[in-house]
């Protein structure tokens, strides 16, 4: 085992990261000896005090941890496990800088959810035993109708909130096409065209699109590799598309005995 551990460390140092697979026997060695879930009280206190120390680059770390471990924070997370609900509650006592950041996250996630729902509802329908569908049929889906209605406003709101963080231009370059008011049928065509463009521009040599329009332009076909109904789940409850590590922080604080 020592030889294998030495080799793993040498390879990791050379490549700049750990390169062993999840099933590697060495992980059990570290778990057995470092005991990450059996932290002593003194060690836990030392670690927690260390991560509470903020600086110019991490000014919001302590307020976030203070709220997460507060009665209100513990209640909202343990009850709902929703980062959107957690952030909304967190905003109530946040200072102006932190509130602006949370508003930017909320605005970006609203845009992301509107767009993701439109795309995933189409993919879910296409993979539900009907791989060929007319675009006019997709235009009748709830996710598409709501995306066409909501995206122009959610795009403008997200761009405005992201601008102070230097992300407005990048956001606009990627998604400005969704800032226009469109009918659902026009929106489906736009979404499919945008999807193909994104796939085509992925490094190093582009990727195949998940769904294609036929030559006639009035029907689309899903790639068999993505024909999996369980993969797609539009959510109409406002939940986030992305993750902001609240679950990881909750788990970490639980291990340290702070929660």
Domain boundaries, the chain: 97-231
Report in angstroms the alpha-carbon separations of 259 from 19, 75, 121, 247, 249.
33, 11, 38, 13, 10
Residue 60 has pLDDT above 90, yes or no: yes
**Digit-coded pLDDT (tens) for 203-245:** 999 999 999 888 877 899 999 999 998 899 999 999 999 999 9
Q: Is 86 exposed, middle or buried (0-12, 13-18, 19+ CB in 10 A)?
A: buried
CB 221 within 8 A of CB 134: no
CA distance 226 to 212: 12
| Mean pLDDT taken over the chain | 93
Under the banding of pLDDT at 50, 70 and 90, the label for residue 132 is confident
- Residue 97: pLDDT band (50, 70, 90) is very high
Q: Structure pTM?
A: 0.85
Structure-model confidence comparison of residues 253 and 217, the more confident one: 253
pLDDT > 90? residue 2: no
The answer, yes or no, to whether residue 29 has pLDDT greater than 80, is yes
- 40-49, 143-152, 161-170 — which is least confidently predicted? 40-49
Q: How far apart are CA 249 and CA 69, in angstroms?
A: 10
pLDDT at residue 66 above 90? yes
């Amino acid at each position: 085992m020592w030889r294998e551990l030495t080799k793993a460390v040498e390879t990791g140092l050379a490549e700049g990261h750990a390169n062993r697979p999840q099933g590697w026997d060495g992980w059990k060695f570290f778990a057995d000896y470092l005991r990450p879930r059996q932290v002593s009280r003194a060690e836990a206190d030392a670690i927690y005090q260390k991560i509470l120390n903020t600086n110019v680059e991490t000014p919001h770390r302590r307020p976030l941890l203070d709220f997460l471990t507060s009665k209100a924070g513990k209640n909202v997370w343990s009850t709902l496990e929703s980062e959107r609900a957690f952030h909304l509650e967190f905003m109530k006592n946040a200072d102006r800088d932190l509130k602006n950041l949370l508003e930017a996250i909320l605005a970006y996630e609203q845009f992301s959810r509107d767009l993701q729902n439109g795309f995933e509802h189409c993919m879910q329908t296409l993979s539900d035993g009907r791989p060929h569908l007319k675009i006019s049929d997709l235009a009748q889906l709830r996710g598409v109708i709501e995306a066409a209605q909501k995206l122009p406003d959610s795009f403008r709101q997200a761009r405005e909130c992201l601008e102070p963080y230097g992300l407005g231009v990048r956001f606009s370059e990627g998604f400005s096409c969704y800032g226009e008011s469109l009918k659902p049928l026009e929106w489906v065509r736009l979404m499919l065209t945008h999807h193909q463009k994104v796939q085509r521009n992925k490094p190093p040599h582009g990727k195949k699109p998940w769904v294609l329009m036929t030559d006639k332009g009035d029907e689309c076909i899903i790639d068999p590799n993505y024909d999996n109904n369980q993969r797609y789940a539009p959510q109409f409850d406002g939940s986030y598309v992305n993750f902001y590590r609240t679950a990881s922080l909750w788990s970490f604080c639980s291990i340290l005995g702070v929660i």
